[in-house]
Structure 1
Amino acid sequence: MSQHTSVTIYGGTPLQGEWSVQPSKNAALPIIVASLLTPEPVTLHGVPQLSDVYTLLRIMSGLGTRFAWTGPHSLTMHTPTLTSIETPHELVAKLRASITLLGALLSRSREAKVGLPGGCTFSLRPVDQHLKSLRAIGADVREEGGVFLASRPKTLTGSYLFEMPTVGGTQNAILAAVLGEGEVTLENASADTDVVDMVNFLNSLGADITGAGTPTIIVRGVSALRGGEYRVIPDRLDAGTWMIAATATRGHVTLSGVRAKHLRAVSAKLREIGADVIEHDETTLTVDARQRLLRPVSVTATEYPGFPTDLQPIMGALLATVPGTSVLTDRIYARTTHVAELIRMGANIEVPGQTMIVQGGKLHGAHVTAADIRSGAALVVAGLAAEGETIIEGVAYLQRGYEDLLPKMRRLGARVDFTNVALPAAMD
């Protein structure tokens, strides 16, 4: 698979146009993992072709999964038997979502060997809630030399009260409890859209899970799951990124294929800033920031349905263009890898603790480097809004979260040079 190296953005052009939002990466990854729970074929529609997806499929092929792309976003997977319960360290070290293989392997084979997950290193991201929840419902989990060794009895029962809502921790506990004869109750569980979508997928195959989207989820074990077809939800982070980019460039963009209700926190904040956000129906919305007087705001990133932590850096790039003092607080992660790069572009940002104070003004082009997916997207938005030429290194990170990012930018009127940049090829 080829990788981006760098991209040059000639800023100052408002984004204009229409396009369809990509399928959700963060929803697709745990659903792909969940397909391990059935020995029958599963076809997923709405799977983005991204490097993270390719990495997960390589991991699962080593576990016995056969897969084939049957369309641009359609993926058929079949794991008739598990050929291994151990994941390759060099691959799981690249992918945070690989930690959910722990629960899936426990459910299917009652044992697992999964290495410490990797992925973007923008903040300390512990997995203690994953391990505590699995132990509370009856699994034995220990760590040896950077590998989690886990086993479970035939029946998992009990309850766990999460110390804080965690998407991956909730998903891991659900996956571990799906197959069996017991009943597991998870309290203070994540209500995130990605949890709901994974539960809807599992229930479509015959699982018995109730309460998804609420703080209390109950999993009643079943003896087996069947195969089937399922469509993954649209990517609210992709949609949110381009809603913010349209506002930052004072543009006018219509997005289709969205779930407007998943974007209410983003829409509300952009309206507070001064943009016009129009929900035409449940799947289409327009952001219009042309000739708008934008205002500074305070933003707190928190669990769904609050403002997404993934969009906090990107919102910071927008607020760096809005005159006045804005305050950004992140209750989930300390995402700061983009700050020094935005300062190179003229942003005035101070970071006392987990709060960012942004004095908005004009940005100018600069040579900057992306350190992770969302910091890269923040630099793209800043480059689109800035005066002059911005060169962004480390664009390979963007391939982990945004499908066909650069061609889409061009279709929305951005002036982008990526002549010598190869786009990722689909994995066969």
Structure 2
Amino acid sequence: MPSESLLVIQGGQPLHGEFVIQPSKNAALPILAATLLTRHSVTVHGVPQLSDVYTLLRILGTIGARHAWIGPHSLVIHTPEILTVQPPAELVGQLRASFTLLGALLSRAGEARLGQPGGCTFSQRPIDQHLKALRAMGARVSENNGAFHVVRPAPLSGNYLFELLTVGGTQNAILAAVLGEGQVVLENCSTDTDVVDMVNFLNALGADIHGAGTATITVSGVKELRGGEYHVIPDRLEAGTLMLAAAATRGQVTLTNVRTAHLRAVSAKLREVGVTITEHPDGTALSVDARQHRLQAVNVTATEYPGFPTDLQPIIGALLSTVRGTSILMDRIYTRTTHVAELRRMGAQIELADHVMVVTGASLRGTRVKAADIRSGAALVVAALAAQGESVIENVHFLQRGYEDLAARLTPLGAQVQHHEATLPLAMD
């Protein structure tokens, strides 16, 4: 009979202790795609063992990449030749990050055929900026029944001003321009940490890219890239999730393997809520202390990096559902509301008006809820940890796309979390 993964959480216990943050999935995925640009072997450290990573490795395998895990978060990947420029649509459709293969294949093979990317479906996530940038750089782009065919008739060159900030669009344009004899200048680029990490990786292999972390990035094409070794940055979204969980449970948690500079917006907002944030002098650890603190309502606007992350908007909503007073949440990037109905089932008082959420603090109670995507699932976990009584969270496979072994890693903090496999009834005709 079919089965389903569940999390069973006994809430109401403050989190306390030390938590080691996993490597960044959102940084690792485009770096793995970027390994296609070299015919030499590359060792990547800091690759989380998550379902999204496994999916991308399967896609890369169809293209010609061979990989081997040499440690819990380290792998060697090697693509001596490109076997196809058209990876399977059924795999591409499972993963949003697969669309960066468009730029990578265009750079290495001069051509790419890719279907619509997949991923979480919490909001509309257009790809028009990716395609406009490639066209402006000299690529020929055509679409047929939702599939894209991109060809490079000559070395890519020219300028493109992004109409809006886009992490994936910036990454795709950079990847497309790395190999060749032209020069590309990209303006109004995303300054996101994932863009910077991918550029640092490419430059470590011999690429010529300047300006990452600023609004203007210049890519001067090179003939080829060499092999090498690279360490992916820590996951600022997992770090932010644990910071918010510590606050929601009124606990005290020390996070290690972080980059505090990447968490400035989260730290600032939690300080505004009334939580004590103490950063280690070397920037690799921080402490979150909400014990015996009188927390207060705040307003939050999620926006592009370095602003408050859109991925953490549902999760801070869970925290603010436990804080006395009224908070207003806005998201300038996506409409993330898949968690709202489930939090209401737990007693949260959240009103929706267009892109605005009005959250009034209340006492949360445990109940049975369903995750709809990665971050809505994390919001439900945080709410369940803070709630009184038992919560059962369904659709745990969404969490497993973004958080590695979360139940096992929360238990040493005092969380009462168990991962169960429940048998599902067979469907009746």
Q: TM-score, length-normalised on structure 1?
A: 0.97
Matches of 2:3 and 2:171 in 1, distance apart? Answer: 30
RMSD (Å), alpha carbons: 1.2
Letter in 1 for 2:244: I
Superimposed CA distance per residue, residues 144-178 of structure 1 (whole angstroms, 9 cap, x where no aligned partner)? 12211110123111111111110000000000000
Question: 2:88, 2:403 → 1: CA distance?
Answer: 25
Q: Secondary structure at the match of 2:120?
A: coil
Deviations 1:125-160 (A, max 9, x none): 010110111111111111112211110123111111
CA contact (8 A) 1:319 1:326 kept: yes
Structure 2 CA distance for aligned equivalents of residues 254 and 119 of structure 1 = 31
- Summarize the alignment of residues 100-249 of structure 1 with structure 2, pairs less than 5 Å apart: 100-249=100-249
Cα drift, residue 351 of structure 1: 1.1
Q: Is 1:348 paired with 2:337? A: no
Separation in 2, partners of 1:183, 1:20: 41
Residue 421 of structure 1: how far off its partner (Å): 7.4
Q: Secondary structure at the match of 1:131?
A: helix
Separation (CA, whole Å) in 2 of partners of 1:263 and 1:16: 20
Match of residue 53 from structure 2? 53
Q: Structure 1: how far apart are the matches of 2:87 and 2:372?
A: 26
Residue in structure 2 matched with residue 75 of structure 1 by the alignment: 75
The separation in 2 between residues aligned to 1:378 and 1:3, in whole angstroms, is 23
Quote the Cα distance in structure 2 between the aligned partners of 1:288 and 1:228: 40
Aligned residue type for 2:197: D
* SS of equivalent to 1:401: coil
Residues 240 and 263 of structure 1 are in contact (CA less than 8 Å); yes or no, is this contact kept in structure 2? yes
- Aligned residue runs from structure 1 range 347-386, under 5 A: 347-386=348-387
Residue 90 of structure 1 corresponds to 90
Shift of 1:353: 1.0
> Residue deviations 1:105-141, cap 9 Å, x none?
0000000111100000000001011011111111111
Q: What is the match of residue 389 of structure 1?
A: 390
5+ residue gaps, structure 2: 424-429
Alpha-carbon separation, structure 1, partners of 2:372 and 2:36: 32
Judged with a 3 Å threshold, the aligned counterparts in structure 2 of structure 1 residues 220 and 310 are, in CA distance, closer, same or farther, namely same
Q: CA deviation at 1:420?
A: 3.7
List per-residue Cα deviations over 1:178-229 (Å, max 9, x = no partner).
0000010110000000000000000000000000000000000000000000
Return the alpha-carbon distance in structure 2 between the equivalents of residues 84 and 106 of structure 1.
12
Map Cα deviations across residues 361-400 of structure 1 (whole Å, 9 max, x no partner): 1111111100000000000000000011111000100010
Alignment match, 2:327: 326
1:35 and 2:3 equivalent?
A: no
Contact 1:160/1:187 (8 A) holds in 2: yes
Letter in 1 for 2:393: I
Provide the C-alpha distance between the structure 2 equivalents of 1:150 and 1:114, rounded to a whole number of angstroms. 9
Q: Which amino acid aligns with 2:308?
A: F
Q: Partners of 1:50 and 1:158 in 2: how far apart? A: 37
Q: 2:39 and 2:280 mapped to 1: Cα distance?
A: 42
Q: Name the structure 2 match of 1:425.
A: none
Aligned partner of residue 234 in structure 1, secondary structure: coil
SS of the aligned residue for 1:230 comes to strand
Q: The residue matched to 1:392 in structure 2 has which SS?
A: strand
User: How far off is 1:419 after superposition?
Assistant: 4.4
Alpha-carbon distance change, 421 to 199 in structure 1, aligned in 2, over 3 angstroms: farther
Percent of aligned pairs with the same residue? 67
Question: Cα deviation per residue 1:59-108 (whole Å; 9 max; x = unaligned)?
Answer: 00000000000000001000000011101111111100000000000000
- Paired with 1:313 and 1:4, the residues of 2 have a C-alpha distance of 24
Which amino acid in structure 2 is aligned with residue 211 of structure 1?
Answer: G
Amino acid at match of 2:270: L
Tell me if 1:17 matches 2:20. Answer: no
1:114 and 1:174 map into 2 onto residues whose CA distance is: 18
The answer as to whether partners of 2:138 and 2:154 remain within 8 angstroms in 1 is: no
Question: Does the 8 A contact of 1:45 with 1:231 survive in 2?
Answer: yes
CA contact (8 A) 1:69 1:76 kept: yes
Task: Work out the CA distance in 2 between the residues paired with 1:130 and 1:403.
Answer: 30
8 Å CA contact 1:62, 1:84 repeated in 2? yes
Secondary structure of 2:99's partner? helix
Q: Distance in 2 between matches of 1:335 and 1:90?
A: 25
Q: Would the aligned equivalents of 1:122 and 1:334 in 2 still touch at CA under 8 Å?
A: yes
Q: Report the CA distance between 1:417 and its aligned residue.
A: 2.3
- AA partner of residue 103 (structure 1): G
Aligned to 1:273: 273
Q: Is the 8 A contact 1:154 1:181 kept in 2?
A: no
* Alignment partners' CA distance in 2, 1:358 and 1:141: 44
Matched, 1:262 2:259: no
Aligned length: 421
What is the distance in 1 between the residues matched to 2:421 and 2:4?
Answer: 9
Which consecutive residues of structure 1, in runs of 5 or more, have no partner in the other structure? 423-428
Contact kept, 8 Å, 2:5 with 2:420, in 1: the verdict is no
Is 1:403 aligned with 2:404?
yes
Cα deviation, residue 3, structure 1:
8.9
- Looking at structure 2, the residues matched to 51 and 25 of structure 1 have their Cα atoms a distance apart, in angstroms, of 10
Going from structure 1 to structure 2, the CA distance change for 1:35 and 1:351 (only over 3 Å counts) comes to same
